[in-house]
């Protein structure tokens, strides 16, 4: 049986202001608040799993296209080091040494070194934030898009915005989950549809693989 002491426990450990949103949504029903809170946690975890699969596939697809571009231009080494100074290496302003998106690569390199790992391309790429991949397909990097569009061979057309809008939307969701915010207050069904669609642009088999293993649809169907 749910009682006021249970709510005091929740407020003491998870915060009054945080739980007020749940109380408002549930018209003060403490039992529903607890169920919604737990459901939000489970849904967030399920999204994190599916987003993780998508992020790895996305960065691999972009890496493959950038590597092919790098090779096609006859450049030595690996594109991630930005020796051609296309991504902002050495072009920072003020006290910043590098501009974005290369600044994210620099941060990843520092993290790899701190962890005493070799600064090879694969290790660096594995440490780069999701925000970097969003920047790579954004309009700020339109010069790369003719090549990067090849990372999404199953997309209808070649519109950069079709990809960038979905990546931006999913990045925002990922950030909400990372900060343990509520996601029941946003259109999570659309977010999941975007996730599957973006995976499908890379490979229909990838989209099916993620969807078959995801817990998101089942959780959406039983929202408290």
Q: Which residues contact 50 (CB under 8 A, 6 or more apart)?
A: 192, 195, 210, 213, 214, 216
Average pLDDT over residues 107-131: 96
Q: Which residues contact 120 (CB under 8 A, 6 or more apart)?
A: none
pTM strictly above 0.75: yes
d(CA 37, CA 224): 9
Which of 170, 55, 51, 70 is closest to 121 using CA atoms? 70
Q: What is the pLDDT of residues 135-163, one digit of tens each?
A: 999 999 999 999 999 999 999 999 999 99
Q: What is the pLDDT of residues 199-213, one digit of tens each?
A: 999 999 999 999 999
Buried b (16+ CB within 10 A) or exposed e, 181-197: ebbbeeebeebbebbbe
Q: How confident is the model at residue 6 (pLDDT cuts 50, 70, 90)?
A: confident
Average pLDDT over residues 2-31: 83
Average pLDDT over residues 175-203: 97
Q: Which residues contact 13 (CB under 8 A, 6 or more apart)?
A: none
Which of 118, 147, 142, 134 is closest to 198 using CA atoms? 134
d(CA 26, CA 158): 44
Q: How many residues does the chain have?
A: 224
% the chain with pLDDT above 70? 98
Q: How confident is the model at residue 4 (pLDDT cuts 50, 70, 90)?
A: low
Q: Which two tokens stand for residue 88?
A: 């902002």
Q: Indicate if the pLDDT at residue 35 is higher than 90.
A: yes
């Amino acid at each position: 049986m749910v009682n006021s002491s249970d709510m005091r426990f929740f407020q003491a450990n998870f915060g009054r202001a945080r739980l007020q949103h749940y109380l408002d949504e549930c018209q003060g029903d403490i039992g529903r608040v607890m169920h919604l809170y737990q459901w939000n946690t489970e849904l967030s975890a399920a999204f994190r799993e599916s987003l993780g699969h998508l992020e790895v596939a996305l960065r691999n697809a972009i890496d493959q296209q950038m590597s092919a571009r790098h090779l096609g231009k006859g450049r030595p080494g690996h594109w991630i080091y930005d020796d051609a100074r296309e991504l902002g290496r050495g072009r920072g302003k003020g006290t910043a040494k590098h501009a974005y998106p290369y600044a994210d690569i620099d941060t990843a390199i520092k993290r790899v070194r701190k962890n005493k790992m070799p600064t090879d391309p694969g290790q660096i790429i594995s440490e780069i934030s999701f925000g970097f991949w969003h920047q790579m397909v954004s309009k700020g990097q339109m010069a790369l898009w003719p090549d990067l569009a090849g990372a999404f061979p199953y997309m209808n057309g070649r519109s950069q915005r079709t990809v960038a809008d979905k990546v931006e939307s999913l990045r925002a969701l990922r950030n909400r989950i990372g900060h343990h915010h509520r996601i029941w207050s946003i259109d999570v069904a659309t977010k999941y549809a975007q996730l599957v669609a973006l995976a499908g642009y890379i490979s229909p088999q990838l989209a099916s693989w993620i969807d078959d293993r995801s817990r998101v649809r089942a959780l959406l169907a039983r929202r408290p």
